[in-house]
Amino acid sequence: MSVFLEISLDSTESAIAAERGGAHRVELCSNLSEGGTTPDLHTINETRKNVDIPVHVMIRPRPGDFVYSDDEFEKMMAQITSAWKSGVNGAVVGVLTRERTVDRERMQILLDHARTMTVTFHRAFDDVEDPDRALEELIDLGVDRILTSGQKETAGAGIPLIARLQELARGRIIVMAGCGINPLNVGTLMRETGVREIHVGRAVRTSPSHTSVEEGKVRNMLEAIRMTYRHHIH
């Protein structure tokens, strides 16, 4: 049984420390306090050069909602192409309509631009009106995974919906739980939902003096999962 721990962070130093702590994948962003936006190309390139674990890049031109103007969408297409050229493994993106549905047309365009990268539909999913329908649409589009808190403030509060999405997915798409997950609640969340991919917030602070402390946070999360399932995490 494999469990994947993904960490959202905002610097190369953080990514290096997260890898040392045992993280399986990093989601690279800027403006984490505002939900994350696309990081600069220098940070993307340096992170890709300095870590061996998969790197996924947030494609989001601004904080706020997920309904974008034509100019913003043009920027997203350029950002996703730049991410692909940098050699990262995945793109993290989400586009909605004003009616709070998946913008299928624009998502298809971004998927085409992603080329060989995997695609995660981020927590824009938690803003959709009909999550069951959105899940099927994203499967149909060929999206690899969704990130969700079950449309609640935290994944712990959203367990019922996360569990239902996991059941409905039937292995056709990965359901990754995120938001408010810590070593004290990760075991309960995984047991009650069946998810095997967990997303947590910043693993390490940018300041190098704090990296060893924050590296320990990753180790603590993994140890909590091991204690829950008593199996080796690949």
Q: What percent of the chain is modeled with pLDDT above 70?
A: 92
Is the pLDDT assigned to residue 34 strictly greater than 60?
yes
CA angle 32/37/40 to nearest 5° reads 105
Is the predicted pLDDT of residue 142 greater than 70, yes or no?
Answer: yes
With a cut of 80, say whether residue 231 has pLDDT above it.
no
pTM: 0.92
Can you give the length of the chain in residues? 234
| Whether 73 contacts 106, CB under 8 Å | yes
Per-residue pLDDT reduced to its tens digit, 78-136: 999 999 999 999 999 999 999 999 999 999 999 999 999 999 999 999 999 999 999 99
Domains of the chain: 4-229 (3.20.20.380)
Instruction: Please report, rounded to a whole number, the percentage of residues in the chain having pLDDT higher than 90.
Output: 83
Q: Which residues, 6+ apart, have CB-to-CB distance to 119 below 8 Å? A: 90, 91, 92, 93, 110, 111, 142, 143, 144, 145
- Supply the mean pLDDT for the chain: 92
Q: Residue 195 has which token pair?
A: 């998810």
In this predicted structure, what is the pLDDT of residue 100? 97
Per-residue pLDDT reduced to its tens digit, 185-215: 999 999 999 999 999 986 444 445 555 656 8
Q: How far apart are CA 118 and CA 4, in angstroms?
A: 15
For 14, the token pair is: 């953080």
Beta bridge partners of 5: 198
Q: What are phi and psi of 174, to 5 degrees?
A: -85, 130
**Rounded mean pLDDT of 3-30?**
94
